[in-house]
Structure 1
Amino acid sequence: MDYRKFLGKAESLVLPYLGGGTVDAASRRLRVTTPVAAGWWRFDVKGRDATAREPAGPEGLDALPRVRGHVWGTRLVREGAVAEPLELMPEEEPPRLAPVCARRWHDGTLLFDGVDFETEAEDAARRALEEGHPLCGIRSVPSSLRAAFGYALLDDASRALDIRFAPAEARGRVLSVAEGGRPQAEACLRRLRAEREAHQRTLAAREARAQARHLAMMDENARRLASGLLEQVHRRGAMNPRRQGGGHAPESDWVRAERALAGSGARLVAQRRLVGNQLEVTYAFMGERFLSIVDADSLQVVDAGICLAGADSEVTLESLPSVIREAIETDVLVVTRHA
């Protein structure tokens, strides 16, 4: 039998498309030939390529793991105060703090499935939020609703104080915020701002020391020039030339960064070249987006985008997600660069 006639055979799959250049099927990631609007689409799949043919209704959700929690903006807040992005939300937004059911897609993404039946707890939490009261004293409030209430308080305070926060930074304190109300939310945000400012002072001091070393090296080079030694240095350099930055094509940068992140479960979102042979890398990990700056050749971290007490250069892009995971799980994460 000649199997070659089957190699070009196309199949039809209904898949959730979230934007970008790829879409995930049950067993593999496919390249999208022509990007379309986010949503459920019927794709014609041939090899590793997927071409969107027409919008479609969701398929296969019933066989996927169900995840329940309460909605906060475009996130589902579930057990453990974890606030994950909720994809493909309906055109009509669910009520604030509504109980929501989602499905875990094959790549780990949470897809909106529907709004669950409400109890008196959701209505009581909404009234408390509207009236500026904390949740203390309100009984029978599920932990996911308490956490969603706390995040909503932090969100309101964040806009008023102009202090950004990522849910993972406040996860360990969000239940205390729900119980303590607006003052506790403001205290949490001000603590984050103080830690970021301390981080910036550390970075400034480190850059000042590096500049001082650079100036000292310039003085040393001047002395060598005066004594006629610089010519020897140039000759040695000619025999053993150092590779200059910028030798990688953008595709190579993307592939190497994607490979470095993939082992930890992080997903590369964007990257761009910076001066000084550096890369700015944006990636999604544990329901958050992070932005880090790394050396373009070695992928050694220059600025992790989170507070590492000045130890950024001790990690690489490959090991950085595990450091972030530990910071989240021990409630010490402080984001210094927001993606």
Structure 2
Amino acid sequence: MDYRKFLAKTESVVLPYLGGGTVDTATRRLRITTPVAPGWWRFELRGRDAIAREPAGPEGLEGLPRVRGYLWGTRLVREGAVAEPLELMPEEQPPVLAPVSARRWHDGALLFDGVEFEGEAEDQARRAMEEGHPLSSVKGVSAPLRAAFGYVLLEAASRTLGIRFVPAEARTRVQAIAEKGRAEAEECLRTLLREREAHQRALVARQERALTSVLVVEAHEWDQSRQRTQTRPGDISRAEAALHRAGARLLNHRWLSGNQLEVTYAFMEERFISIVDANSLQVVDAGVCLAGADSEVTLESLPSVIREAIDTGVLVVTRYG
């Protein structure tokens, strides 16, 4: 193949841009030469680059998988109480708990497609939410709608108590929250806070023990050796590949002192932040509670540990961006 001809070839195509440095077609990922506002754009493709030319209407959604659920903020809540971020929402926000549909783009993102016909269950659930009642007395409410209702209660309690949460931490609890009401939501958040505080105390204790056992023999030579072997700053490819093999997607990264790397990544419809050693990719701080076993996993094995924590309802996030 004459790669000069490939690189010189241009193509015009409409794609969704969600922010960041790349945009995806059905077959490849392209670099954005000049970032623009998120939305649908007509891009000029040149080799591996995509140049935004003008805003455009959505194209190519009809053949993509459809996902249905209920609206909670800017998330679609579907079966299994999974609350996925919805991209490219309309300017006029649909009502909370509205039934919505989305399309699964080639990179896995959910693109808003439209609001669907409402039935009696949605109206009754919204009325219960407005009056501060749980869903225990409302009949005919589907599991996804109950989950969305539970997340709404959690969000309101989170604002009042000042305790943050991510949906994956409460995925196994939202049905009970919807049935029992605000008190159950508050207890869920207080439980998360207690677990985070216990994690922080244990982390401080481990750091203090480590400081008392540090040997400083030949520290200068050790530092020089470390500098010779450390990963070159800016080389993020190994970390990105490790996350990709684990089914996660790198979103952002930041180099820290001591040749450590902070990585922000998407996994199971959530956003996580972890700190790893840049050379070995051994985890320094998982960003989730691992009962002190952070150093026993690597960046590639960490997502499977997170998956198990989500599935068993024990996920506790300790690092937020």
1:244–1:71: structure 2 CA closer, same or farther, 3 Å change rule?
same
Partner in structure 2 of residue 57 of structure 1: 57
Partner of 2:164: 164
Q: Using the alignment, how far apart are the partners of 2:240 and 2:9 within structure 1?
A: 30
Q: 1:328 maps to which residue?
A: 310
Deviation at 1:269, TM superposition (A): 1.4
Which deviations, in whole Å up to 9, do the C-alpha atoms of 1:198-225 show, x marking residues without a partner?
11111111111101112xx35xx5xxxx
Shift, 1:139, TM fit: 0.3
Q: How does 1:149-228 map to 2 (within 5 A)?
A: 149-214=149-214, 217=215
Tell me whether 71-80 or 205-214 shows the greater mean CA deviation.
Answer: 205-214
Question: Which blocks of at least 5 consecutive residues in structure 1 are unaligned?
Answer: 222-232
Q: What CA deviation, in whole Å up to 9, does each residue of 1:285-327 have, x standing for no partner? A: 1111111111122111111000000000001111111111111
Partners of 1:246 and 1:128 lie apart in 2 by 61
Instruction: Give runs of ≥4 in structure 1 deviating > 6 Å.
Output: none
Q: Return the letter of the residue paired with 2:21.
A: G
In the TM superposition, what is the alpha-carbon distance from 1:245 to its structure 2 partner?
7.5
The answer on whether the counterparts of 1:169 and 1:333 sit within 8 Å (CA) in structure 2 is yes
1:137 aligns with 2:121: no
Q: 2:263 aligns with which of 281, 295, 302?
A: 281
* Larger Rg computed on CA atoms: 1
Distance 1:234-1:112 versus aligned 2 partners, 3 A rule: closer
Measured in 1, the distance between the counterparts of 2:229 and 2:132 equals 54
Could you tell me which residue of structure 2 aligns to residue 250 of structure 1? 233
Measure the CA separation in 2 of the matches of 1:212 and 1:145.
53
SS at match of 1:317: coil
Percent identical residues = 71
Match for residue 147 of structure 1?
Answer: 147
Does residue 302 (structure 1) correspond to residue 284 (structure 2)? The answer is yes
| Counterpart code for 1:266 | A
Q: Tell me the CA shift for residue 3 of structure 1.
A: 9.6
Report the TM-score, using the length of structure 2 for normalisation. 0.95
Query: Which residue identity lines up with residue 172 of structure 1 in the other structure?
Result: T
Q: Alignment RMSD, CA only?
A: 2.1
Contact map agreement 1:104 1:111 (CA 8 A) in 2: yes
Structure 2: distance between partners of 1:145 and 1:88: 22
Quick one: which amino acid aligns to residue 27 of structure 1? T
Q: Output the CA distance in 2 between the equivalents of 1:148 and 1:8.
A: 49
User: 1:91 — aligned with what?
Assistant: 91
| Count, aligned residues | 320
Question: Whole-Å Cα distance in 2 between the matches of residues 294 and 305 of structure 1?
Answer: 10
CA apart distance, 1:268: 1.2
Cα distance, 1:245–1:61 mapped onto 2, change above 3 Å:
same
Q: Secondary structure at the match of 2:197?
A: helix
Alignment CA distance shift 1:264-1:172 (3 Å)? same
Q: State the AA in 1 paired with 2:135.
A: L
> Offset of 1:275 from its aligned partner?
2.2
Deviations 1:157-179 (A, max 9, x none): 00100100000000000000000
* CA deviation map 1:140-159 (0-9, x unaligned): 01111100000000000001
Q: CA deviation at 1:193?
A: 0.6
Provide closer, same or farther for how the CA distance between residues 201 and 322 of structure 1 changes in structure 2, counting only shifts above 3 A.
same
Alignment-mate amino acid for residue 47 of structure 1: G
In the alignment, the residues of structure 1 paired with residue 228 and residue 168 of structure 2 have an alpha-carbon distance, to the nearest angstrom, of 35
| Aligned 8 A contact 1:271 1:279 in 2 | yes
Cα distance in 1 for partners of 2:208, 2:28 equals 48
